[in-house]
Amino acid sequence: MKASIELNNKTYKVDFSKPLDISIGLRGDSKNPVAWYLDAPKIKPVKDGDFIGKVSGGASVNFNNIQFNPHAHGTHTECVGHISREFYSINQTLKTFFFFSKLISVESEKIGEDQVISKAILKEKFQSKNTEALIIRTLPNLREKQTRKYSHTNWSYLSEDAAIYLRNCGVKHLLIDLPSVDKEKDEGKLLAHKAFWNYPKNTRFEATITELIYVPNSILDGEYLLNLQFASFENDASPSKPVLYKIQ
C-alpha cells in the first residue's frame, strides 16, 4: 500500500507493503542473543496437574509462559526510567511512533582495550539537524549478531562526547545494534545514556534508546521512515520492533 505521510512539515511517499524489519525476535532456546550474564529466555507451556498447555500434548490451545529480560534478550526500547531513581514507563513516555530517520554504518576505533564510537566517527557520517531518529549499524556487520552471547565481551560503545553530539543534533530516538550504548563494565557510570538523555540536569523525557537491533547488509545506508513499535509494558523498557520504510 502506497501512501503519503507528512513529517516535519514535509510530505514523503512511502510503500507500506515493503517493510524492513530491523528487530531481533525473541526465542526460547540457546540461539537467542544474550547479554548481561543471564541465561537464555524461556518459552514453555503452562503445566497444571495433568494439563499441559500444548496442542501437540493434547490441549485445545497452546498456552505458554515466557520468561525474559527486555534489556538482555533482544531488541528493546527504553526511556530515561532505565537510569532514573524515579519510575518512568516507556509506555507512558513514547506516544508517537513514526519518525524521519537516517541509517549510518560505522566502524569503531581502538582506544586502549576498548572499541569506541567517537564523536569524530559519527560527525563524519551524520551532521543533520532535522533527523528525529538515528540508526547505527556497527561494522563488521555479521549475521551472528542475531545469536551472539555478549556477556564479558567488552562490546563497542559510544563515547560521552558522541552521545552529546547526537543530543545537540536533535536526535530524539537512537537505535543501535549493541546491547548498550555504554561500555559493558563501566562501574555504573552510564555516561552515554546520561549524556543522550541529558540526565538529570535537563532531562529529555521524550527521547528513547533502542538496543540490540540487527540491520541486514541488504538495507543500504540512507534516509527512511521509521515505525518504532513496542509492547505496552509499564516498565522502563519493552521488547520492540523497529521497522523501516524506504522514502520514495
Residue 152: per-residue pLDDT:
98
- Of 189, 230, 181, residue with least CA distance to 209: 181
Write down the pLDDT at residue 248. 83
Q: What is the mean pLDDT of residues 152-173?
A: 98
Residue 22 banded pLDDT, cuts 50, 70, 90: very high
C-alpha to C-alpha distance for 169 and 215, rounded to whole angstroms: 23
Q: Closest Cα to residue 193, out of 81, 109, 73?
A: 81
Q: Residue range 6-15: average pLDDT? A: 81
pLDDT tier at 129 (50, 70, 90 boundaries)?
confident
Model pLDDT, residue 4: 83
Evaluate whether 1 touches 219 at the Cβ level (below 8 Å): no
- Listed residue (73, 64, 14) closest to 39, CA to CA: 73
Amino acid type, 193 = H
Beta strands 47-48 and 133-138, pairing class: unpaired
C-beta neighbour count of 86 within 10 angstroms? 8
| pLDDT at residue number 49 | 94
Q: Is there a contact between 197 and 203 (Cβ–Cβ < 8 Å)?
A: yes
How confident is the model at residue 43, as a pLDDT?
98
Checking if the pLDDT of 1 tops 90, the result is: no
pLDDT tens string 36-66: 999 999 999 999 999 999 999 999 999 999 9
Rounded CA separation 165/113 (Å)? 23
- Read off the pLDDT of residues 228-238 as tens digits, 9 standing for 90 and up: 999 999 999 99
Q: What is the pLDDT of residue 68?
A: 98
Largest CA distance in the chain: 62
**10 pLDDT band (50/70/90 cuts)?**
confident
**Cα distance between residue 27 and residue 37, in whole Å:** 17
At 177, the pLDDT band (50, 70, 90 cuts) reads: very high
pLDDT at residue 8 greater than cutoff 80: no
Q: What pLDDT, on a 0 to 100 scale, did the predictor assign at position 47?
A: 96
Identify whether the C-beta of residue 205 lies closer than 8 Å to the C-beta of residue 172. Answer: no
Q: What structural domains and CATH numbers belong to the chain?
A: 2-25+70-246 (3.50.30.50)
pLDDT for residue 9 = 76
Phi, psi of 203 (to 5 degrees): -60, 135
Residue 89 three-state SS: coil
Pairing of strands 157-158, 114-117: parallel
**What residues are paired with 212 via a beta bridge?**
none
Helix, strand and coil content of the chain, in percent to the nearest 5, comes to 15, 35, 50
What is the pLDDT of the chain when averaged over all its residues? 96
Predicted confidence at residue 20, as pLDDT, reads: 98
User: Is residue 7 within 8 Å of 225, Cβ to Cβ?
Assistant: yes
Cβ burial of 61 (10 Å; 0-12, 13-18, 19+) is: exposed
| Residue 71: all three cell numbers together | 534489556
